[in-house]
Homo-oligomer: A and B are copies of this chain.
Amino acid sequence: MDEVFKALADASRRSLLDGLHARNGQTLSELCEGLAMTRQAVTKHLVILEEANLVTTVRHGREKLHYLNPVPIHQIGERWIKKFERGKLAALGELKRQLEKRDE
């Protein structure tokens, strides 16, 4: 879980995921196109995404195809974000109450 959060913390990595979301199964070179970064930098980001299990790769000859794995993202939604949704209104109410108490 920590690896996933860390992987998602970087904007470049999130836009790589966006790229795969737009078109799945891209090669490294394809993912590099239009980015202001060397290929090696992109490789490092992809390794981090792979280690977080957000991306799976398939070697195909001299090419490496990258596939998005949406499961960890879904799990963060389920296991983490939903926890804070429950009681969200309560928290906001309490917050508002305290902020208004400033002038007492």
Contact = CB atoms under 8 A, between A and B. Distances in A.
Interface residues of A, number: 38
Contact of A69 (B8, B95, B101): B95
Copy count, this protein chain: 2
B11 A9 contact: no
- At the interface, is chain A mostly helix, strand, loop or mixed? helix
Q: Which 6 A-B pairs have CB atoms at the shortest separation, nearest pair first?
A: A9-B9, A77-B81, A70-B88, A67-B95, A73-B84, A70-B84
Interface of A: 2, 5-6, 8-9, 11, 14, 17, 21, 24-25, 56, 58, 65, 67-71, 73-74, 76-77, 81-85, 87-88, 91-92, 94-95, 98-99, 101-102
